[in-house]
Structure 1
Amino acid sequence: MPESPHPPELPARLLADPEMIGACRRRDFALVFRMVKKHAGIYPSMIARRCDLTPSRVGEVMAAKRKLLHMDVVERISDGLRIPGHLLGLSSRAWESPPELSAADWEPPSRPTEPPGAHSLPSHDVGDILASVACTSPRASTVQALRSSIEDYWRRDDQHGGEALRPAVIGQLRYVEILLMQSRGDTVRHGLLGVAAELARLTGWTHFDARQFSQARLYFGEALRFAKDIDDRQFMANVLACMSLQATYQDRPTDALALATAAQDHARAIKGTPRVLSMLSMREAFAHAVLGSRSGAHAAISEAHRQFERISDSDSDPAWVTYFNEYKLTVDTGIAHARLGEAEIAEPLIAQALHREGGTNQRGRAFHTFWLARTQLQQGKLEQACHTAVNALTPASAVASERVTGHLREFSRQLTPHRSEPAAVAYDSRLRQVLPAGVSGPPPP
């Protein structure tokens, strides 16, 4: 019999048990899972289903062979087992609100929509407005103008995050769908489908950056279908690479590896450019690193560098991969080593890349600086790590990105054992000055 979509709450006596409270505050999920099994009758297979984990992962956690640290996983455990958010250091979960105060009660009823398909995306009012002004005979110049706007969207996304851009991007995607219905020429239609694929990927990316993973998957799926309509396998590989990166954030390394491998298969089938293959190899390296496979990660890193050395001026790189330059290869290599716990190798690579980084990509600079701080902390360089993290706060405050905020929270949690040290106190003080209250999360137990 299938489980209820609204799992019952844990027994009140269990949630009030001091041992359970302490385990939650420490995020000692080995003990949490054992107590849930003993006092609530929720066995490991049920824990796995409710928390969207694999049974083997739950078994490893209960045997104290693996820890669960990713924020997304902690949130799934809170929601799946109905552990109140404050016990795990989270904000109150949506299901904790009394029904009469639920936010859904205050929202106007939405009009029914069809399941999204290759040419049927979720409806938005701005799309209706754009429909009324859509031109009736799109031309090649229309496609070029749309591509230019996409380039501008990506620049603004790097500088400020995608939250504010999303309504405009979705509106333009709806507009392109209308143009597709009016298009007659094969060349223009092919171009419009390519634009639609890029807009859908960008929309998925803005949801991913906001950690709205389900919506991100929806739009990444749309991007794949548009690209498949024109058999653009390199772009399909690009979308699969985005989905692979998202899977690493969701602590689903097996999915991340499968998606990265599929992306490479698509690119190699049409002899993708060395730059594309290099970027995809780095995605594979990330997946191996999250899996803890040192040999797999090292092999993928080597392949990424081998492909990068093959790049020549005569390559016809797609515009979406030009960001993957020598700086990005270096910093991604450092991050892959950092994910493996190889901080001594990672630190100089990330530091070298940051020294050479230019441009206005505030989000990227914030990410990379926090990764540098984490590698320094892993080596016991507390003062240096806190100083580096303070430098990351300025670019972090300039961009609206839940992923950036997640890295910030993670670094703050890693500082917990050193919370009374002067360097950590100074960092916390600067954090509260630069970023909104609550970003650093609840105080440590």
Structure 2
Amino acid sequence: MPQPSRPQELPAGLLTNPEMIRACRVRDFTRVFRLVKAKAGIYPSMIARRCDLTPSRVGEVIAGRRQLLHMDVIERIADGLRIPGHMLGLARRPWETPAALVVTDREVPQAPEPDRQAPESLPSPDVDSILALTQQTGLSAATLEAFRSSIEDYWRRDDQHGGEALRPAIVGQLRHVVGLLKESRRTPIQNGLYGVAAELARLTGWTYFDARQYNQARAYFTEALKLSKEIGDGQFMANVLACMSLQATYQDKPADSLALVTAAQDHARSARGTTPRVLSMLSMREAFAHASLGNQISTHGAISEAHHQFERIQPSDPDPLWVSYFDEPKLIVDTGIAHGRLGEATTAERLIADALRRENRTNHRGRAFHAFWLARTQLDQGKLEQACHTATQALESASAVTSERVTGHLREFYDQLVPHRCEPVALAFEARLREVLPPVSGSLHP
């Protein structure tokens, strides 16, 4: 009996079928799924199960009503149906290499699940002997303020350059703070340390999420939830759940995304002193989840609620520091992205373009994301020259930041150019891409 983890191979005749090869090359999954059904006897419900998709989504693809563009989904299809990576423009898949030849996996193995009763038990709990020398430092309000200032600085540098290079320092500080928690009695200072540890755990999870290493991200997000629960910080728990909701959106798991953001809103509403800015941010994350599900009415309702809450913001509101990024340009660009996810490209283009003119130019990752979204909405409207010009400008921001999520957005736009690859503006964009981002462009299929 075959092992459950080893899906049935597709017939060699299907993998060498010219029609299958052409469909895979342009990622025409409508045709791929139809051929898999007709030639291999793998029916839609089996495709859904093997590729971790919903049956309804597979049905929409087969009917030609939905496209699949996210790299995570394409990789799941390659692995679930055993389509060699090169056929779909992917790197060689792990299962294509005999076990004896495998050297390393892409993702770091996930650490054992942390002990629920011991917040000091964290993913990868290696003790840093250098940091251990500082554990006898006296604790005070100034100590907490120093930790919070460093977290603020980490976030600023993460926006500018990505979190990959920052992660060792963040994890080291997290272990140090957890070590202090072991030695301290429950006092207001220790409660503050729990909050600092929760913020550092969320930041670590965010750096893994940005690198598309989702197992590690989930482990640290979970630890952040546990730490914030220790001190009953419902607002911060809502913040972490909102991060997990966004990750589920990227993993093309919209039902999970909606469940997580709904739980986040429940925690926020029941928490004392939750501010309108927090509620506005959460409503926008809800809009992302509904848009990924294709639910237009619910998406528009969540967008309206986000704007309603934002209008209630007062300068005197005691906003947590972690929500300060959610300013008016961010509200506008997220509104545009939600419309873009629904396929409402005209509305999305206007909003995203407006936000790009107004947002902070030092946030390289955000500007790269938003510019690629703008280019996609322009391409959806047939504005090829304008889209390629926008994407070329986005390359400058993308080259300044190390972010696998930025690379993913770039790949999605690059894939959308497939029907236009011979057009001069598309060729010019590709040439500029190879000049500015040679390591990334080298990983894109020709």
Identity of aligned pairs, percent? 69
Q: Deviations over 1:297-318 (max 9, x none)?
A: 1111111111111000221100
Partner secondary structure for residue 175 of structure 1? helix
Question: Could you tell me how far apart the structure 1 residues matched to 2:39 and 2:354 are?
Answer: 52
User: Post-superposition shift, 1:81?
Assistant: 2.1
Q: 1:83 to 1:346 in 2, by over 3 A?
A: same
Partner secondary structure for residue 10 of structure 1? coil
Q: Contact between 2:24 and 2:32, CA under 8 Å: does it hold in 1?
A: yes
Question: Could you tell me how far apart the structure 2 residues matched to 1:318 and 1:211 are?
Answer: 27
Pick the aligned partner of 1:117 from 112, 115, 140: 115
Q: Contact between 1:234 and 1:266, CA under 8 Å: does it hold in 2?
A: yes
Residue 52 of structure 2 corresponds to residue 49 of structure 1: no
Q: Contact between 1:137 and 1:183, CA under 8 Å: does it hold in 2?
A: no
Question: Could you tell me how far apart the structure 1 residues matched to 2:258 and 2:232 are?
Answer: 23
Question: Could you tell me how far apart the structure 2 residues matched to 1:39 and 1:130 are?
Answer: 60
User: Post-superposition shift, 1:383?
Assistant: 1.3
Partner secondary structure for residue 192 of structure 2? helix
| Alignment correspondent of 2:365 | 363
Residue 152 of structure 2 corresponds to residue 154 of structure 1: no
Aligned residues: CA RMSD:
2.4
Q: Contact between 1:254 and 1:291, CA under 8 Å: does it hold in 2?
A: yes
| Alignment correspondent of 2:12 | 12
Mark the runs of 5 or more structure 2 residues left unpaired by the alignment: none
Q: Contact between 2:411 and 2:444, CA under 8 Å: does it hold in 1?
A: no
| Alignment correspondent of 2:248 | 247
Q: Contact between 2:123 and 2:219, CA under 8 Å: does it hold in 1?
A: no
Q: 1:199 to 1:100 in 2, by over 3 A?
A: same
Q: Contact between 2:113 and 2:219, CA under 8 Å: does it hold in 1?
A: no
Q: Deviations over 1:106-154 (max 9, x none)?
A: x9x99x9643234211235463442344226533332222111111110
User: Post-superposition shift, 1:370?
Assistant: 1.2
Question: Could you tell me how far apart the structure 2 residues matched to 1:220 and 1:351 are?
Answer: 32
Question: Could you tell me how far apart the structure 2 residues matched to 1:296 and 1:392 are?
Answer: 31
| Alignment correspondent of 2:324 | 322
Q: Contact between 1:127 and 1:172, CA under 8 Å: does it hold in 2?
A: no
User: Post-superposition shift, 1:381?
Assistant: 1.6
Partner secondary structure for residue 72 of structure 1? helix
Mark the runs of 5 or more structure 1 residues left unpaired by the alignment: none
| Alignment correspondent of 1:199 | 200
User: Post-superposition shift, 1:63?
Assistant: 3.6
Q: Deviations over 1:312-357 (max 9, x none)?
A: 0221100000111111111111111122122221222211111122
Report which stretch shifted further, 17-26 or 360-369.
17-26
Pick the aligned partner of 1:415 from 414, 417, 427: 417
Q: 1:256 to 1:7 in 2, by over 3 A?
A: same
Q: Contact between 2:336 and 2:351, CA under 8 Å: does it hold in 1?
A: yes
Residue 423 of structure 2 corresponds to residue 425 of structure 1: no
User: Post-superposition shift, 1:59?
Assistant: 3.1
Matches within 5 A, 1:159-198: 159-198=160-199
Q: Contact between 2:90 and 2:445, CA under 8 Å: does it hold in 1?
A: no
> What amino acid maps onto 2:54 in structure 1?
T
Matches within 5 A, 1:273-422: 273-422=275-424
- TM-score normalised by structure 2 residue count: 0.92
Q: Deviations over 1:225-273 (max 9, x none)?
A: 1111111111111111111111111111111112122111111112520
Report which stretch shifted further, 293-302 or 315-324.
293-302
- TM-score normalised by structure 1 residue count: 0.93
> What amino acid maps onto 2:412 in structure 1?
E
Question: Could you tell me how far apart the structure 2 residues matched to 1:373 and 1:245 are?
Answer: 21
Question: Could you tell me how far apart the structure 2 residues matched to 1:378 and 1:32 are?
Answer: 23
> What amino acid maps onto 1:353 in structure 2?
A
Matches within 5 A, 1:26-175: 26-104=26-104, 114-118=112-116, 119=119, 120-123=121-124, 125=126, 127-135=128-136, 137-175=138-176
> What amino acid maps onto 2:228 in structure 1?
A
Q: 1:273 to 1:440 in 2, by over 3 A?
A: farther
Question: Could you tell me how far apart the structure 1 residues matched to 2:200 and 2:75 are?
Answer: 29
Q: Contact between 2:44 and 2:59, CA under 8 Å: does it hold in 1?
A: yes
> What amino acid maps onto 1:284 in structure 2?
E
Report which stretch shifted further, 365-374 or 35-44.
35-44
Question: Could you tell me how far apart the structure 1 residues matched to 2:354 and 2:54 are?
Answer: 38
- The runs of 4+ residues in structure 1 deviating greater than 6 Å are none
User: Post-superposition shift, 1:411?
Assistant: 1.0
User: Post-superposition shift, 1:289?
Assistant: 1.4
Q: 1:375 to 1:55 in 2, by over 3 A?
A: closer
Question: Could you tell me how far apart the structure 2 residues matched to 1:80 and 1:64 are?
Answer: 21
Question: How many residues matched?
Answer: 442
Question: Could you tell me how far apart the structure 2 residues matched to 1:323 and 1:401 are?
Answer: 19
Q: Deviations over 1:57-80 (max 9, x none)?
A: 233333434332211100111122
Q: Deviations over 1:4-33 (max 9, x none)?
A: 223343333332222322222232323333
Question: Could you tell me how far apart the structure 2 residues matched to 1:113 and 1:61 are?
Answer: 36
> What amino acid maps onto 1:223 in structure 2?
A
Question: Could you tell me how far apart the structure 2 residues matched to 1:410 and 1:114 are?
Answer: 34
Q: 1:233 to 1:3 in 2, by over 3 A?
A: farther
Q: 1:20 to 1:359 in 2, by over 3 A?
A: closer
